[in-house]
């Protein structure tokens, strides 16, 4: 079984997230998503709208996702990859090159981001009373 891993906050789920998860799953048979806890989001200078528990429940409902575990810190990736017998690490290419140290342990794939959508854009548009395409 070819196992894929990816990381993220996955707040206010949108097509950019779904496009990433679909392509990540297509690289193997099993997709493990390591989901940033609320505490780690603070380290990333992010404040998620949904709690960790709700973001986890939402991700677990996605057909491409097989398992969701917590991301507590920047340092856990090597042990995550080794302990879960991961074959492929996947992230959007906004992270291009940032995780190449994992190439010792697994394949590393950066996928093109989906243009024109982000959690930040959603928050800003809603604040301005705008829809996505206005
Ligand atoms: N993404 C994408 N296209 C978008 C928005 C996001 O492909 N328009 C991808 C990101 O590249 C990432 C994933 O969706 O691979 C999740 O995005 P975030 O929740 O913003 O994740 P991030 O905060 O970048 O977390 O240790 C790594 C960090 O936890 C990464």
- pLDDT per residue over 50-106, tens digit each? 999 999 999 999 999 999 999 999 999 999 999 999 999 999 999 999 999 999 999
Asked if 99 and 91 touch (Cβ cutoff 8 Å), the reply is yes
* 3-class secondary-structure state, position 132: coil
Asked if 92 and 47 touch (Cβ cutoff 8 Å), the reply is no
pLDDT at 105: 98
Is the shortest distance between the CB of 113 and ligand 1 below 6 Å? Answer: yes
Pocket test for ligand 1, best of 36, 92, 120, 123 (most atoms within 8 A of CB): 92
- pLDDT per residue over 1-32, tens digit each? 999 999 999 999 999 999 999 999 999 999 99
Q: Is 44 a catalytic residue?
A: yes
Is the shortest distance between the CB of 94 and ligand 1 below 6 Å? Answer: yes
pLDDT at 36: 98
Measured in Å, residue 55 CA sits from the centre of ligand 1 at: 14
Walk across the sheet containing 107-111 and list its strands: 67-71, 30-36, 3-8, 88-92, 107-111
Q: Measure the N-to-C terminal CA separation of the chain; round to a whole number of Å.
A: 44
Q: Report the pLDDT averaged over residues 107-130.
A: 97
């Amino acid at each position: 079984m070819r196992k894929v891993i990816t990381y993220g906050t996955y707040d206010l789920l949108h097509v950019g997230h779904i496009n990433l998860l679909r392509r990540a799953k297509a690289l193997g048979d099993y997709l493990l998503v390591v989901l940033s806890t609320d505490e780690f989001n603070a380290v990333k200078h992010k404040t998620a709208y949904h709690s960790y528990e709700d973001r986890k429940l939402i991700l677990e409902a996605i057909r491409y996702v097989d398992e969701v575990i917590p991301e507590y810190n920047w340092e856990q990736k090597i042990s995550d990859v080794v302990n879960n017998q991961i074959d492929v690490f996947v992230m959007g290419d906004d992270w291009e090159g940032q995780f190449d140290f994992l190439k010792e342990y697994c394949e590393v794939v950066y996928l093109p981001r989906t243009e024109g959508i982000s959690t930040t854009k959603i928050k800003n548009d809603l604040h301005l009373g705008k829809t996505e395409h206005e």
